[in-house]
Amino acid sequence: MAKAGFTKSYIPAAYGGLGFGMIDFAIAAEELTRVDVNVPTTLLGTGLALQPVIQFGTPEQRKRFLPPFVEDGDGALLASFAFTEVGGGANYDSDDPRAGVQTMARREGDAWIVSGEKHYTTNGWGWDGRGAHLYTVVCRTDPAKGARGSLAVIAVPGDAPGVHVVEAYDKMGHRGVITPRVHFEDVRVPADFLIGKPGDGLDIVSRTFSWTAALIGAACVGVMRRAFEIALDFARSEVRLGTAPVIDYQNVGYMLADVKMRIEAARYLTWKACHSLETTGDQELAIETKVYCSELAVQVVYDAMRIVGVESYTKRTPLERLMRDALVFPLYDGGNMGIRRRQLHAMLREPGYDSMRAAENRGR
């Protein structure tokens, strides 16, 4: 993948990358996910971790952190967004200093000292358990202040003393992507590795996750598309002790038609969300895409399984794997219940909220 240039796709051209537009990346993600979810998830995981630098970093920070990912031609460099606390992630934006993110960074002279425990850090394992090349760590800089005053993102090199990968979680799906527990024990990094300033973490986290929110829609479409193809091929070729292919029966044909319509709706919502986020910066459609497509994917794969029947519950078809992979879509990258719907709820409560703003691509 690295030799083909894919690992450079999310790096801006100004820093040696290919500078893919979001719709380009969505198309690539769909094609890859149709075959295997793990490869594009690894790519998205590194892209996610670099978004704080790409979107909010200073020119000096971009020159420091981005070129190594371009210059490495073997794809050996992985980045990891260390967001989720071991105690949970949904309440990361709490303004009560007793709650929220518990990973802390304290200033000592010309350095930040980072301490805390994270898990579900996609790519945090690296290739061999020795960690990612770079972590972007969500933390607080003042234990007496909540998120609004102290939430921050700090770049932490994976080889810094005090970075420990302590456990790889055994998951039911996405088996080729390791999301480990990582401890940061008094990790010292230069003061200028802080991205933005304390308190900027709220906006950095939101916009970073909006980038993947839109693109996860494409991953969901890829999984749904593969499930549809399996079910369609089955329906065309199997008679199941009957005299005609099962696609000739209305209950099967209508279900296939419904699945196909859902896939098309999900794909074009994804493309619209990518275009909107890239051209206006508005995050509404990206968040809606993540919620809608992720939950739709679970239903579509299940409907494909219903068409194929009980055999789909065995490893004789790829559908059981697709279901295991689809089930995490509503749960990760900002869970739909804990974070994403709360984000949409907050938008709806804003004074003067315009329900047509996102549809008309006007931004805020």
**Residues whose CB is less than 8 angstroms from the CB of residue 279 and which lie 6 or more positions away in sequence, other chains included:** 361, 363
Return the bridge partners of 153, or none. Answer: 138, 195
**Residues whose CB is less than 8 angstroms from the CB of residue 301 and which lie 6 or more positions away in sequence, other chains included:** 223, 224, 227, 319, 322, 323, 326
Mapped onto helix, strand or coil, the DSSP state of residue 79 is strand
State the residue for tokens 């709360």: 342
Distance CA 45, CA 92 (A): 19
Distance CA 345, CA 339 (A): 10
Q: Which of 195, 81, 207, 202 is nearest to 136 (CA)?
A: 81
Distance CA 276, CA 358 (A): 7
Instruction: Determine whether 248 is an active site residue.
Output: no
Q: Which of 105, 139, 125, 83 is nearest to 338 (CA)?
A: 83
Which residue among the candidates 93, 303, 325, 333 is catalytic per the annotation?
333
Q: Which of 198, 5, 180 is nearest to 104 (CA)?
A: 198
Crossing angle (nearest 10°) for helices 201-237 and 22-35: 50
Distance CA 260, CA 225 (A): 8
In 88-165, alpha helices (H): 147-150
Catalytic residues: 333
